[in-house]
């Protein structure tokens, strides 16, 4: 791995991941400091979940002009978040984090506080955890789908390296590497980038998956994820593409108009566990899937794509690493809004049968 570590002017860490080995001298000349405010976790007593409150994010950079982009390389005339004239892939601590460090969140902290008689509305903890930004390329007007396989492999290595580093921190329990793409999703910086969140607790979605994996194991003696993958590959009608190490498919219960899961054939729990061959195979298949998505509609696909990884606290349980990509676009001029049923009570209604979407994605690969 070709990595260079440095420190920005306000003390934040930055990591350069290069396609090939190179020497970098990094010096941030800006006179900057970290915004005040921090973050706080507040316990939702109704759902038994943590909510992050991060007031400093209200003033984060919002849709800057191209020549003011903070994620482009620095020039002699303008210093950016990345103090280099060029880069391949770079990761740095978010200047406006949702989770701003602080002491580790003890297991069952909320349960213990409530048992000790604390008011349900005042169960709080400093916003432990870490938030990082991942820039996929120095090119401002491209996208992840337009990169080559070599660069995407470097991105995979960066995700894996940062996952390992964050999971080694006492305040981090689960790592979520993700990309928001498109204004329809809410993106406020157009430069191709993603984020990495190190949560101090297992996230609600992951906790639900772990519970279902436990139920499946107790009822059948089988691994939920292995059983799902085998069923999808046997049925075939929702499989989009595959290779020796991965299968891309639309799950039969897809909630979103476009929803794709990329699952490894070998049971691994986190990104660092992937072999070189598995990383190469993923990069090739993911690039194919992204390009198919951009051919579905009249405009490039807006999406959220993220890695579902096992929390450190879930050791010994059934869980399989997989990537989930989903989009709110359901037609050239129509979006899927999370209205009353979805937002109010959490019951999703999908307007496109998963089998139909899988067929469209297969055909999108044939029209290249």
Residues annotated catalytic, as ranges? 193
CB atoms within 10 A of CB 192: 22
- Residue 176, number of CB atoms within 10 A of its CB: 18
Burial class (CB in 10 A: 0-12, 13-18, 19+), 225: buried
The encoded tokens of residue 39 equal 């973050």
- Give helix then strand counts, H and E, for the chain: 7, 16
Determine contact, residues 254/350, Cβ cutoff 8 Å.
Answer: yes
Taking the C-alpha atoms of residue 260 and residue 293, their distance in angstroms, rounded to an integer, is: 10
Residue 82 DSSP code: B
Question: How far, in Å, CA of 78 to CA of 30, rounded?
Answer: 10
Strand, coil or helix: 354:
helix
Phi and psi of 208, rounded to 5°? -65, -40
Q: Which residue has the tokens 């794709």?
A: 260
| Cβ-proximal residues to 165 (8 Å cutoff; 6+ apart), any chain | none
Q: Is 77 helix (H, G, I), strand (E, B) or coil?
A: coil
**Using an 8 Å Cβ cutoff, are 257 and 146 in contact?**
no
Q: Return the DSSP state at 344.
A: I
Burial of 333: CB neighbours in 10 Å, binned 0-12, 13-18, 19+ = exposed
Q: Which residue has the tokens 């929390």?
A: 311
Distances (CA, A) of 43 to 88, 118, 125, 211, 220: 40, 12, 9, 21, 35
Quote the tokens at residue 151. 């660069």
CA distance 193 to 86: 15
């Amino acid at each position: 791995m070709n990595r260079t570590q440095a420190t920005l002017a306000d003390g934040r860490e930055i990591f350069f991941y290069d396609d090939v080995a190179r020497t970098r001298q990094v010096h941030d000349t800006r006179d900057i400091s970290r915004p005040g405010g921090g973050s706080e976790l507040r316990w939702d007593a109704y759902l038994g979940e943590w909510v992050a409150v991060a007031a400093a994010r209200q003033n984060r950079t919002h849709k800057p002009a191209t020549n003011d982009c903070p994620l482009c390389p620095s020039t002699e005339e303008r210093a950016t978040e990345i103090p280099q004239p060029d880069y391949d892939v770079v990761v740095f601590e978010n200047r406006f984090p949702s989770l701003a460090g602080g002491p580790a969140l003890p297991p069952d902290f909320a349960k213990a506080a409530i048992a000790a008689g604390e008011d349900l509305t005042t169960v709080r903890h400093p916003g432990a955890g870490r938030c990082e930004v991942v820039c996929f390329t120095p090119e401002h007007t491209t996208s992840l789908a337009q990169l080559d396989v070599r660069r995407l492999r470097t991105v995979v290595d960066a995700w894996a390296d940062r996952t390992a580093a964050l999971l080694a921190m006492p305040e981090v329990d689960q790592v979520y590497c993700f990309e928001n793409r498109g204004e329809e999703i809410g993106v406020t910086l157009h430069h191709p980038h993603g984020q990495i969140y190190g949560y101090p607790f297992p996230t609600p979605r992951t906790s639900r998956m772990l519970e279902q994996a436990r139920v499946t194991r107790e009822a059948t003696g089988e691994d939920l994820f292995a059983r799902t993958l085998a069923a999808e590959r046997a049925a075939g009608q929702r499989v989009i593409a595959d290779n020796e190490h991965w299968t891309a498919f639309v799950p039969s219960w897809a909630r979103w108009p476009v929803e794709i899961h990329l699952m490894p054939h070998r049971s691994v729990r986190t990104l660092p566990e992937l072999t070189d061959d598995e990383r190469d195979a993923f990069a090739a298949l993911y690039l194919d899937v992204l390009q198919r998505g951009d051919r579905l509609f009249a405009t490039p696909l807006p999406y959220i794509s993220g890695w579902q990884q096992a929390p450190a606290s879930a050791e010994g349980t059934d869980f399989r690493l997989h990537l989930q990509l989903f989009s709110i676009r359901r037609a050239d001029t129509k979006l899927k809004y999370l209205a009353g049923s979805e937002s109010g009570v959490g019951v999703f209604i999908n307007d496109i049968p998963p089998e139909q979407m899988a067929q469209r994605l297969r055909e999108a690969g044939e029209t290249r």
